[in-house]
Amino acid sequence: MIIKPSTSLRYDYNSISQIAREKAEPIYITKNGEDDLVVMSIEAFQKREALLDLKEKLFLAEEQCLSKENTISLDDAYNRLKEKINGKIQG
């Protein structure tokens, strides 16, 4: 965990930016010794957002599977895809 005081963000932005890009993890910014902000590179943020999106989709899929809601077997899914592909190729 990287923790920096708010003064370093204010007076040494380039250093904070470089650390954020190199470490690819959040930097916790404190103000008067207490947690205030979290700063991260845009790449780390986008990766984190993609991971959260994937986890949400997996959670929903698991809920559907457990409730038997809108689910089909793997074989049925394969056959449906195969039919769609063949339909596009043939006509």
8-49, pLDDT tens digit by residue? Answer: 988 999 999 999 999 999 999 999 999 999 999 999 999 999
Q: What is the pTM assigned to this prediction?
A: 0.65
DSSP 68: T
Cα 81 from Cα 89, distance rounded (Å): 12
Domain boundaries, the chain: 2-40, 46-90
**Of how many residues is the chain composed?**
91
According to CATH, what is the number of the domain 2-40?
A: 3.40.1620
Residue 4, H or E segment? strand 2-5
56-85: pLDDT as tens digits = 999 998 888 888 767 788 899 999 999 999
